[in-house]
Amino acid sequence: MTDLLYQPVPLVDLLDRVLATGVVITGDVTISIAEVDLVRISLRALVASVGALAEDGEGFDVFGSASLG
Amino acid sequence: MTGSTEGVWLHAVVPHIDPATLDGVPGMDGVRLSVVRAAGLTAVVSKVPLSRYGEEPMLRNLEDLTWLESAARAHHVVVDALSRVGPVVPARLATVYLDPDGVATLLTDRRDDFVDGLDRVAGRAEWGVKAYAMESVTETPGAAESGTAYLRKRRAQLTAHSEGLENAAREASAVHATLAHFAAGARRHAPQDRRLSGAETAMVLNGAYLVDQDRVTEFTELVSALSKCHAAVRIELTGPWPPYSFIAGETS
């Protein structure tokens, strides 16, 4: 499978790149990434996933500090 | 029954591709990759069902970390495979067209941008350099210590901690400046949240550097040398990456 061909990379490093970068295209797409705040949406998913660790009430810091560029 | 039910997930744009390159590289959900050619460029795409990749389901899916991770990894596998055989302009995650004609129009309309982007990354790869503040040394106060002595020591620890962070941030900026000077391109991503990275200490540099392929050894040696002479940070090198970080911004 793919794991044999490609070194798995840390998800957080990958998301830095595939969400915040890459050519931004508007127009005839089903979701216009330039308009939909994909980064914010995904961070909400990330925060939810680490919610168990974030019980110190700092959950929303992630939005400020990890805006992924 | 195409068009209304099937969308086109754009992975990347390349100048030209030997179809054999795509053999054995799975697309989204393991589908066979397709290409759309126009204006002398090739877009590598996955045909995807709009029932799952249309606007509404995708907005929902993007909230689901398991889905997000598998989509990000599937997209990356394709972009990574392409980057190993030639220059590539990656598309941002979740760029889905309603039909191949939309992709062809994109290639035609934005040809100059794509050509510029491909020229910029040709013969180069992205490397990631992350720096973390060193673990601050914390002494456990002795059991027999008085309250005053404990507080004094605690205050000293806090001061040392914040000075340590300042030193680390300063060194991180120096490391970045040196690497940026060496590299063909440089960019600082926002530091990763510690809860996401799992790191023990604060990240002070999340850098990406576009490096000529024939200077990679020099670059890694430079990183290693910088690591040795900056005691306030712990440095991690990742890569090679497709040039994800050096495409954004060409939206003009």
Show which of residues 1-40 on chain A sit within 8 Å of chain B, judged by CB atoms: 2, 5-6, 8-25, 27-31, 33-34, 36, 38
Number of domains in chain B: 2
Checking if the pLDDT of A42 tops 60, the result is no
Q: Which residues of A touch B245 (CB under 8 A)?
A: 17, 21, 69
Please tell me which of the candidates B55, B62, B189 has its beta carbon nearest to residue A38. Answer: B62
What is chain B's mean pLDDT, rounded?
89
Same domain, B80 and B177: no
CA dihedral A13, A11, B32, B58 (to 10 degrees): -100
Q: Is residue B67 part of a domain?
A: yes
Q: Is residue B79 part of a domain?
A: yes
Please tell me which of the candidates A17, A29, A33 has its beta carbon nearest to residue B97. Answer: A29
d(CA B171, CA B163): 12
Q: Is residue B252 part of a domain?
A: no
User: Domain boundary at B69, B101, B121, which?
Assistant: B121
**Mean pLDDT score, A29-53:** 49
What is chain A's mean pLDDT, rounded?
51
Per the CB < 8 A criterion, the answer to whether B233 and B172 are in contact is: yes
Q: Which residues of B touch A22 (CB under 8 A)?
A: 90-93, 95, 244, 247-248
d(CA A22, CA B154): 46
Task: Say what the pLDDT of residue A33 is.
Answer: 45
DSSP run (H or E) holding B13: strand B6-14
Same domain, B136 and B55: no
DSSP run (H or E) holding B205: strand B203-212
**Structure-model confidence comparison of residues B119 and A21, the more confident one:** B119
**Structural domain range at position B214:** 124-246
Q: What percent of chain B lies above the pLDDT cut of 70?
A: 92
Confidence of residue B2 (pLDDT cuts 50, 70, 90): very low
CA distances from B193 to A47, A62, B134 (A): 10, 6, 16
Q: Is the CB of residue A41 less than 8 Å away from at least one CB of chain B? A: yes
Same domain, B130 and B117: no
Please tell me which of the candidates B7, B196, B208 has its beta carbon nearest to residue A12. Answer: B196
Same domain, B143 and B164: yes
CATH number of the domain enclosing B213: 3.30.70
Asked if B196 and A46 come within 8 Å (Cβ–Cβ), the reply is yes
**How confident is the model over B92-106, as pLDDT tens digits?**
888 888 889 989 998
Per the CB < 8 A criterion, the answer to whether B204 and B133 are in contact is: yes
Same domain, B141 and B222: yes
**Structure-model confidence comparison of residues A54 and B244, the more confident one:** B244
Asked if A23 and B97 come within 8 Å (Cβ–Cβ), the reply is no
**Mean pLDDT score, A6-29:** 66
Q: Which residues of A touch B244 (CB under 8 A)?
A: 17-18, 21-22
Task: Say what the pLDDT of residue A58 is.
Answer: 33
Give strand pairing partners of B234: B132
Same domain, B64 and B100: yes
User: Domain boundary at B69, B97, B121, which?
Assistant: B121
Same domain, B59 and B170: no
Q: Which residues of A touch B29 (CB under 8 A)?
A: none
Confidence of residue A27 (pLDDT cuts 50, 70, 90): very low
